[in-house]
Chains A and B, each alone.
Chain A
Amino acid sequence: MFRALTARGALATAPSRVVTRERAPVRWLLTGAALAFLGVFLLVPLVAVFAEAFRKGVGAYLASFTDPLALSAIKLTLLVAAIAVPANLTFGLVAAWLVGKYEFKGKSALITLIDLPLAVSPVISGLIFVLLFGLHGALGGWLAQYNIQIIFAAPGIVLATMFVTFPYVAREVIPLMQEQGCEEEEAAISLGAGGWQTFRRVTLPNVKWALLYGVILCNARAMGEFGAVSVVSGHIRGKTNTIPLHVELLYNEYNFVAAFAVASLLVTLALVTLALKTVVEWKSRTAQTEFLPDLHNRETPDEDRTAEHLQDVWQLQGAQ
C-alpha cells in the first residue's frame, strides 16, 4: 500500500516526465483549435437550423408540417425507409453470413462490390437507375409496354435509396462474423440444433448490436439521401418529393421558415441516431464484461469431490 502511494506521489510531482505530453500552451492551443472548428462547422449550423425554423414563432413552425405537400414528403420518406431498411437488413445479413462464415472463390470481389455504393457519387447511383429504367433506358421500352413506371415514381426512389444504403448493415456485421468464425455454430449443430435454431439462438444474438448499429446508420442515410433520389424522383410536388427534396424546394422558393422547419425534422433524426448509436456502442461494450477473479471456485476440480458426484453421472449416463 505504502509503495503504491509513493509511486503515485512521484508521478504527481513529475508530470513533465511523460514523454508523449506536450507543454501546456501547446495543449491549450490544439484543444482550442479543435473546439473552435467543431463550433463553427457543426454547432453553429445546428443551432441555425432551429433558430431559422422558429424565427416566426411556434405557430409558423408547426404550420410547415400541416402543409399537404410537407405531409406527402414525410409519408414518402417513411415509406421509402420502411422498404429500404428491412430489405437492406436482410441482404446485409445474408451477405455478411456468406462472407463471414464461408470460403469461396470471388469472396474478395464480393466484399469490394458491397462497398461500391460508398465509392460512387450518389448522383451517379441515381443516374444508373435512370439509364436502366428510364423511358430511353435499357429496360424502359419494355416497362412502358406494361405501363410500369419506376423512374419519376416511388419505386425508383426506393431502388436508389436501397442502392445507396446497401453497405451499412453488411459492413457492420461482416468484420464481427469473420472474427467470430464458425466454432459456436458447429458446437450448436453438434448439440443437435437445426439450421434455423442455430441462426436464431447463436449467430443472430452474437451480432445483434452490430446489426442494430448498422440498421440505425442505414435508416439515417435512407431518410436523408438527397443526390441519388433527386435524380430519379423528378421532383413532382406532392408525389415524388421526399423530405430532403421538399426542403430544397421550399428553400428555392425563399420559404425559409418552412424549409428550416422541415429540415429540423432531419436534424432531429440525426440527433436521435447519434444518441441511439452511443447507447448501442455502450451496450455492446458492456456485453463484453471483463474477467472477474473468483476466489471461491478453483481453476481445476477436486478429485475426491468428483467421486462423490459420479453417482449422479451414473444416472445421467444411464442409457449406457
Chain B
Amino acid sequence: MKIELRNISKTFGSFRALNDVSLSVESGELLALLGPSGSGKTTLLRIIAGLEDADLGSGPILFDGVSVSDRRVRERKVGFVFQHYALFRHMTVAKNIAFGLEVRPRCERPSRVEIRRRVRELLELVQLEGLANRYPCQLSGGQRQRVALARALALKPTVLLLDEPFGALDAKVRKELRNWLRRLHNEIHVTSVFVTHDQDEALELADRVVVTNLGKIEQIGTPDEVFHYPESEFVMNFVGDVNRFHGRLEDGKLCFADLWLEAPEDRDGTSGPARVFVRPHDLDVDIRPNGTPSLRALVADMHSAGPVVRLVLRSEGGHTLFAEISQARYRKLGLRAGSAVCVTPHNVRVFPDSS
C-alpha cells in the first residue's frame, strides 16, 4: 500500500503543528518520522490514521492513489500502535488481541474457533503464548508493546503506524525489540511508518528517514543520506553529534577556527559569514602535523570506555572540539590528558548565514 500526503496543514488553536507537508511512503517500506517533540511527527501519523483531521484546504491523503480523506479511522484499515500501548486494561491479553475481530459486524465476523486460532497464531508470533490470560497490568513494558503489536496485526492492516514504539522501554529491551521488529518487517512487508525522537532508532531501523522540525519536513532520505549528507543545519545538528563553528566563505576558501581550507564544492561560489559543522569522527587526530592544514589543540578530557574513544580538545584559539577515534588509534597515539595534538577536519559541511 503506497501512501501519499499532499500539502497537509494542521493547527491546534494558534499552534501550527504541520505546515504544508507533502510526503509519500512507498509500498512495503519502513519509514521513520524523526524529530524533536513538538515537530509535528505524531500529528502527521495521526492524520494518516484518521485519528486527526487535517485543516481545511489541505490536500488529499491517498492510499494506493485513492483518497481516504473522507474515510473514518475504522474504514482505513490501518494498524495503530500507541505510544503507551493503550491496551484495554480490563481485558486479558487474548481478549485485547481478539478485540478488532470481535467488534466486526456479525456478517464479517470470523467464527469463535477461527478467532481463537488467530489469537493463538499472533501470540506465537510475538512469543507470549503463556500469557494469554494475563491482564496488561501484569505484563512488563516489552511484553505490553508486543501485545499492542499483535492486536494491531490481527486485522491484517494494509498500513502499520507506530507512535514512539520503543519510547517507554529501557535501553537494552529497546535495542532487542528494534532488531526483532526489523526482522518482522523484512518478512511481512506491510507498509509501516513509525515516529521517534531517537536518531539511532530511526537510522538503524528505517528504510527511509523523514526529519521533521517546527511542522515542516527538513529532509527525506535513506539513513545514509540523512547522516552523511544533511541538507540543513537542523538535520546536521539533530542527526548525530556535531562540532559547530562560526566561519567565513571567501573566494572558494573557507575559514574557521583559525584554519583555512578549500571550500566544499557546493559552496565555492558564495562569500560571507557561514556556519561550519564537522562530525566528531571526521576530525583526524595526530601527534605531529601531517602536511594538511590542521589545528593545534590540547587533550582536555577523554572517555575511553566504549567502542570508540571520545576526546574533548581545546584548540589554541580557545575552541572546544569533540573528536572520536578508534581504540586502536588511541593506543597507538598514547594520548593522555594534556597531550598536544594536531586536528585535521574532513567532510566539513557549510551553511551560509543567509540561508
Which A residues contact B (CB, under 8 angstroms)?
Answer: 183-184, 186-194, 197, 201-202, 205-206, 287-292, 294, 296-303, 305-307, 309-310, 312-320
Partner of A297, one of B84, B118, B131, B183: B131
List the B residue with the shortest CB-CB distance to A301: B127
- The answer to whether B344 has its CB under 8 Å from any CB of chain A is no
Bound together, the chains give a CA A245 to CA B272 distance in angstroms of: 91
| Closest A-B pairs by Cβ, 8 of them | A191-B100, A300-B176, A183-B86, A187-B86, A299-B142, A193-B103, A301-B127, A190-B80
**B183, A307: Cβ atoms closer than 8 Å:** yes
**Given A184-B86, A312-B121, A316-B156, are A301 and B103 neighbors across the interface (CB < 8 Å)?**
no
**A192, B155: Cβ atoms closer than 8 Å:** yes
- The answer to whether B327 has its CB under 8 Å from any CB of chain A is no
Bound together, the chains give a CA A291 to CA B73 distance in angstroms of: 33
**Given A192-B100, A192-B155, are A183 and B124 neighbors across the interface (CB < 8 Å)?**
no
**B90, A206: Cβ atoms closer than 8 Å:** yes
What's the least CB distance linking A68 to chain B, in Å? 48
List the A residue with the shortest CB-CB distance to B178: A300
**B156, A317: Cβ atoms closer than 8 Å:** yes
**B122, A316: Cβ atoms closer than 8 Å:** yes
Bound together, the chains give a CA A319 to CA B159 distance in angstroms of: 12
**B103, A299: Cβ atoms closer than 8 Å:** no
Bound together, the chains give a CA A301 to CA B154 distance in angstroms of: 18
**B99, A193: Cβ atoms closer than 8 Å:** yes
**B188, A317: Cβ atoms closer than 8 Å:** yes
List the B residue with the shortest CB-CB distance to A293: B140
Known interface pairs A186-B80, A306-B125; 10 further A-B residue pairs with C-beta atoms within 8 A, sorted by A's residue number? A184-B86, A187-B151, A188-B103, A190-B73, A192-B100, A193-B74, A300-B173, A307-B187, A309-B125, A313-B187
Residues of A within 8 A of B151 (CB): 187, 191
- The answer to whether B126 has its CB under 8 Å from any CB of chain A is yes
**B73, A306: Cβ atoms closer than 8 Å:** no
**Given A187-B82, A188-B88, A194-B103, are A301 and B126 neighbors across the interface (CB < 8 Å)?**
yes
Residues of B within 8 A of A190 (CB): 49, 51, 73-74, 78-80, 152
**Given A301-B126, A302-B127, are A289 and B143 neighbors across the interface (CB < 8 Å)?**
no
**Given A186-B51, A192-B103, A303-B180, are A206 and B142 neighbors across the interface (CB < 8 Å)?**
no
What's the least CB distance linking A199 to chain B, in Å? 12
Which among A205, A302, A313 has the highest number of chain B CB atoms within 10 Å? A313
